[in-house]
Amino acid sequence: MGTMIQYVTTRMRSVFMFFLFAFIWSSLIQGEAGLFLNLLVGIRAALLLYALWFILRFVISAGMKPGMRRSAFNRHRHSVPAA
């Protein structure tokens, strides 16, 4: 349990790893109905919800104008500082 959650936390650089992080944590802290079952069912649910997110992101990206795809954070980084 310790190595697994620490590994996921350390490698958390993508949305997929964050999905795993969220569902593994939830399985560990529920503590009922069997840890292994909770983990397996949780990871299965994570994969399905990730697939939904992937499709939604594709649809939203396709519907957005090119200039709108950048996040507020990126806009801020790429903006020209005032003189």
Partner 1 sequence: MRAGSPLVHQRTIADHRSGLRAALRQNRHPLILTIVTSLLCIAYVLLNRYFSKQEFEARTFAFLILLALACMVSSEIFSREGKAILNAVEPLHFYSVFFAAFYVLPFTLIVLDPRIDGVLYVRVGMAILVGFLAFQCGCRSIKRAGVPSVGLDGASSWALLISTWIAMALVGYLYYWRLRNGNFYTHANSYTVGTDTTSSLLESFVNHLTLPTFFLCGLVASSSTTAARPAKLTIKLYLLSTFLIFLAASQLRFTVTVLILGWVALHLFERSQIEWKLVLHLATVCVVAGALIFTIRASGAGTGLSDSDNQLRDLWRGVTSGELLDTSQLSSATTSTEGTSTVGRAVTPLIFFSDVMQTLDTPSASFGLGDSFLYELQEIIPRLLWKDKPEFLSTQIFIRGNLGMREVDSSPHPLLQFYYEFGWPGIAAGFFS
**Is there binding between residue 2 and partner 1 (CB under 8 A)?**
yes
* Of 14, 22, 15, 12, nearest in space to 43 by CA: 22
By CB under 8 A, the residues from 33 to 72 that bind partner 1 are 33-38, 40-42, 44-46, 48-49, 52-54, 56-57, 59-61, 64, 68-72
Q: How many CB atoms lie within 10 A of CB 42?
A: 19
The candidate with the shortest Cα–Cα distance to 36, out of 22, 44, 15, 48, is 44
Residue number, 31 or 83, with CB nearest to partner 1: 31
Residue among 36 and 83 whose Cβ is closer to partner 1: 36
Report the C-alpha gap between 19 and 11 in whole angstroms: 12
Distance from chain centroid for Cα 81 = 32
**Which stretches of the chain bind partner 1, using CB under 8 A?**
1-7, 9-10, 12-15, 17-19, 21-23, 25-38, 40-42, 44-46, 48-49, 52-54, 56-57, 59-61, 64, 68-74, 76
